[in-house]
Structure 1
Amino acid sequence: MKYCYKVPCQKEMLREIRSFVKDVLDKHGLSEEDISTLVLAIDEVCANLIIHTHKCNASDSIELEIKFKKNKEVIFSIIDKAEMFNINQYEEPTLDEIIKRRRKGGVGLILVKRIMDDIQITTDQKKHICRLSKKI
């Protein structure tokens, strides 16, 4: 089964994205813990796109697709026309470095990489896709 949701790139839409993801995952009987961690991961990726890539430009939009596979895997595809930051190339700072530099941010990407089983970034001439998968 596949679910799709398209939203304008506004911070206010993050609440709608979280609600959409939660509702879809609820329909498939995931535990509250699994739902919370998956919502957190998707929210982080979408927030980075909306805030940093699109600068909250409401005339831009992103799409989110959620697919459930028969092998008990859920795949989230975040589709965007703008070039995406490749999370797989992100070098995680140590916790000591974050504390030492009093750095704001950067922790969300660490969480996404730890929550998801696989992250792929694909590109064609018209769109960029961040595909995140998790065995459930």
Structure 2
Amino acid sequence: MKSTLRIACSRSHLQQVRDFVRDYLNSRNLPEITVNQVVLAIDEVVANFIIHANGEDETQFLDLKLAFSQHELNVEIADNGETIYLPGTHQSPDLRAYIKEGRKGGMGMALVNRLMDRVEFFTRGNHTVCHLSKHLA
């Protein structure tokens, strides 16, 4: 079973993405904790694409594809903007330093890396693609 969704690059579409992913995963009768983890990871990556890669430009769009194959969920998020967005490797942040500094933000991709089994960013032509995968029993 494959599913795709196209959205404009606006935060107002994040709930639509979460609902789309949740519905797709619930059709697989997965544990709620797994569904919540995947929804959170995809929501974070899509939000980063919308905000950081496309500057919330509603004339740009993102394509989201979900595919389930032999106990593995594969997710592809591709933007169609002109800016290449390739975040660096995200190590686990020093939470004590974050708290001490009162810092906000910057932890999302570290969380995505913990929730998913594989996180890859690459370019396809002049567009950015993120591939996420998670083994599901």
TM-score, length-scaled by structure 1: 0.92
Give structure 1 stretches of 5+ with no counterpart: none
Q: Give per-residue Cα distances to partners, 1:56-94, cap 9 Å, x unaligned.
A: 111011110001012x0001100113412335x224321
Partner of 1:115: 115
Partner of 2:48: 48
Contact preservation (8 Å) 2:86, 2:128? no
Distance apart, 1:32 and its partner CA = 0.8
Distance apart, 1:123 and its partner CA = 1.4
Q: 1:90-109 alignment to 2 at 5 Å?
A: 90-109=90-109
Q: Does 1:61 align with 2:36?
A: no
CA distance in structure 1 between the partners assigned to 2:132 and 2:121 by the alignment: 9
State the one-letter code of the partner of 2:63.
E
CA distance in structure 2 between the partners assigned to 1:24 and 1:122 by the alignment: 25
CA distance in structure 2 between the partners assigned to 1:30 and 1:84 by the alignment: 31
CA distance in structure 2 between the partners assigned to 1:96 and 1:120 by the alignment: 28
Q: 1:1-136 alignment to 2 at 5 Å?
A: 1-70=1-70, 72-81=71-80, 82-87=83-88, 89-136=89-136
Give structure 2 stretches of 5+ with no counterpart: none
Secondary structure of the equivalent of 1:29?
coil
CA distance in structure 2 between the partners assigned to 1:55 and 1:127 by the alignment: 15
- The list of structure 1 runs, each at least 4 consecutive aligned residues, that deviate by more than 6 angstroms after superposition, is none
Contact preservation (8 Å) 2:61, 2:79? yes
What CA RMSD, in Å, does the superposition of the two structures yield over aligned residues?
1.3
CA distance in structure 1 between the partners assigned to 2:91 and 2:34 by the alignment: 25
Contact preservation (8 Å) 2:86, 2:122? no
